[in-house]
Structure 1
């Protein structure tokens, strides 16, 4: 069976373009996530992996559909090709087509290209983060960046919950959940109170 996987992480990325390219490849089923590729909490990706069987062919538009850093891409590639024993077609990189060139030379070339492209995908992600940091620094210097708005927590709820925590009735994790913040935010709030 030929299975397609697509991921769009922003409104700018064109989902129709990926879907059309997969249809042209003749896939039987398409899985699509509309989330960031930062991690593998992608429900459709997980369903797709679970449905892959030995001899199936996975079609993706680009190698970065498998992950955003070198290790994730290599891990997923090996899982699909070695553990599941399915083939992969990367539409924008025909050299990585594992359904052809199954001889030693073809496998060697595909492995080298995969390693290189995985490295490039990771470097691009790091470059994006660096440009984002630089942009924030410039915006802060110009007084345009305010950061994320602080979460409003009801004073009574906070004080009541804090008293329960101090009396040992609840844990810090429960405290954070009750007031609706992360554990890190709770530590920051408690630290700021201590400083006052």
Structure 2
């Protein structure tokens, strides 16, 4: 009986400690981001990708997605992915990146 209570107490203390560590870690990451020290992973496909070919694929995907968005019914997303030689999931990710990039650009610069 007493050992069960002690074990439960230790479990509770360990769980609280872990939650405290997670909160402190998140606060540290936020501070580092504000200071420009924590940038996260560089996107494989993006306008600033170190790989020239993947940068080109990103730009072509954006161009074709914009064409589709403007009303071109002849292209599907799967066809666009096939044309560029990438997986459909990658195209969806590029579309998400494009939306994020547009959200960060002021309307006057679009």
TM-score computed with the length of structure 2 as normaliser: 0.53
Corresponding position: 1:147 with 2:59: no
Relative to total residues, which structure has the larger strand share, 1 or 2? 1
- Give 1:178's aligned residue: 91
Counterparts of 2:93 and 2:15, CA distance in 1: 38
Q: String of CA shifts for 1:122-147, please: whole Å, max 9, x gaps.
A: 1012112212322333x34xxxx483
- 1:156 is matched with which residue: 56, 60, 83? 60
Runs in 1 of length 4+ with deviation above 6 angstroms?
none
How big is the shift at 1:107? 1.3
Which of 119, 123, 128 is residue 20 of structure 2 equivalent to? 123
Question: In 1, Cα distance between the equivalents of 2:38 and 2:15?
Answer: 35
How many angstroms apart in 2 are the aligned matches of 1:146 and 1:109? 41
Change (3 A) 1:133 1:108: same
Moved more, 126-135 or 110-119: 126-135
Matches within 5 A, 1:14-29: none
Deviation at 1:190, TM superposition (A): 3.9
Structure 1: which 5+ runs fail to align? 1-103
Instruction: State the 1:118 CA deviation.
Output: 0.6
Structure 2 unaligned blocks of 5 or more: 48-54, 82-87
Note the C-alpha offset of 1:187. 1.9
Alignment of 1:56-135 (within 5 A): 104-135=1-32
Partner of 2:103: 191
**Aligned-residue CA RMSD (Å):** 3.5
State the alpha-carbon separation in 1 of the partners of residues 12 and 106 from structure 2: 50
